[in-house]
Structure 1
């Protein structure tokens, strides 16, 4: 029987308990939250915090600053972001999933949401390819209806994630992930108009990596694949009808490389 979107096996393993939300360093009012709900315009970054530290903090701050310049015409001070995250964590939260959201059509505000920490899935994922590309793909922006819709479609068909592709079959990215393939000893990142994810950026520094255009028709020529996002690294066992035997050693090397990335403090 096909899984449905209510099947917990196919829900993302995000922290479901919201511990705290602040806007510009204070508890939000309804008037402050209204632009986030109604305008649906802005950008964000998501991170896993452990012991009040995060991997790739500078990359997160660069992402926020670049997106802010593109969407609002002005930079976003990294020290301000660090202070806002530290304030939202307060003295009682050391491990969390943190999302920093800049929103509003004018005079943007900075929202920090603190939730229970998340861990990567402990089983390989199966992907369903879909013909869809995110608008303004290099920006991690709000308004991901298309991604959510295709993830729900994939879940209803028994898959774990949607794989976004172009009409002519070029692999772009997952709905909420980047994808890479094993080609011998090298890691091949699908090269397209995608979001350059933080975990992808960190792993490109740590592993023998290259980028290449990957087409659906070529998937059988690779010996494996994996997904990355802010939660971590997950092996891929299939894309549509193409199946991969998961190489525990290769996935283990990727995870070890990610585990070796140093953690950066907010304070």
Structure 2
């Protein structure tokens, strides 16, 4: 078996052991409000940008808990969880908790069916919210989840987070990029530096498409011809932000997708 059925319950391991009882999940349950994680898509036991995921976990553990996190330990725990679930393709999350008085962090790995971002153009509703400590992929995203729900209830696909003055920061669960006809522009406001974003930033210039950072505001969206969002599940064009319509630039998306799909996967 290489892919769990869509209805399957997640396979969960805590510190390399299958979580089957309430006691196994005691640390995540009690300390889940102060933790960080990374989310990756595994295909044939490979992950695009795996070293970036491991670096993210190490840096966040250093910042939040004051100690590093060995990337090889993380890889071993992910491999063990994939073996336990009996799969080669999956959506995997690695959570890092640290209980008071503990000598080492607790690692929880979840394995779910693989996921891919739908390629259909997205409509985004702007909301007035900036994530605290936005450079960290941390837990406690009530506002993101709630604003996303409000956006979907209003007929949009998701929320777009903004700061004072309508400064665009990031999507509720994505990074966002804009195209001005010459360059791909990523908002330079504080946000999570997503792995897919990082991979594209490094590789798009090699395809002849400059990738830059710059200020983006809601009242300045008319300066852009197109936009797209990215996360671990992939890339999708944006067709609308509030009342501002964007054309889906087929050539742009072809270039962006080809660069992304040409990025090799690192073995877990």
TM-score (norm 2): 0.91
Q: C-alpha distance in 2, partners of 1:136/1:247?
A: 33
Q: C-alpha distance in 2, partners of 1:179/1:60?
A: 19
Pairwise CA RMSD: 1.3
Give structure 1 regions of 4+ aligned residues with deviation exceeding 2 angstroms. 15-19, 104-108
Equivalences for residues 101-120 of structure 1 within 5 A = 101-106=95-100, 107=102, 108-120=105-117
Equivalences for residues 1-267 of structure 1 within 5 A = 17-28=8-19, 29-39=21-31, 40-90=33-83, 92-106=86-100, 107=102, 108-207=105-204, 208-266=210-268
Gaps of 5+ in 2: 1-5, 205-209
Q: What is the CA deviation profile of residues 75-100 of structure 1, one whole-angstrom value per residue up to 9, with x for unaligned ones?
A: 00000000000000007211000000
**Is the 2:27–2:106 contact (alpha carbons within 8 Å) kept by the matching residues of 1?**
no
Q: C-alpha distance in 2, partners of 1:66/1:238?
A: 35
TM-score (norm 1): 0.91
- Structure 2 residue matching 1:225: 3-state secondary structure: strand
**Is the 1:16–1:115 contact (alpha carbons within 8 Å) kept by the matching residues of 2?**
no
Structure 1 pair 64–16 and aligned structure 2 pair: CA distance change class (3 A): farther
**Is the 1:18–1:113 contact (alpha carbons within 8 Å) kept by the matching residues of 2?**
no
How many Å apart are 1:16 and its aligned residue? Answer: 6.1
Q: What is the CA deviation profile of residues 37-63 of structure 1, one whole-angstrom value per residue up to 9, with x for unaligned ones?
A: 333210000000000000011100000
- Structure 2 residue matching 1:90: 3-state secondary structure: helix
**Is the 1:191–1:212 contact (alpha carbons within 8 Å) kept by the matching residues of 2?**
yes
Q: Number of aligned pairs?
A: 252
Give the corresponding residue for 1:6: none
Gaps of 5+ in 1: 1-14
How many Å apart are 1:105 and its aligned residue? Answer: 3.9
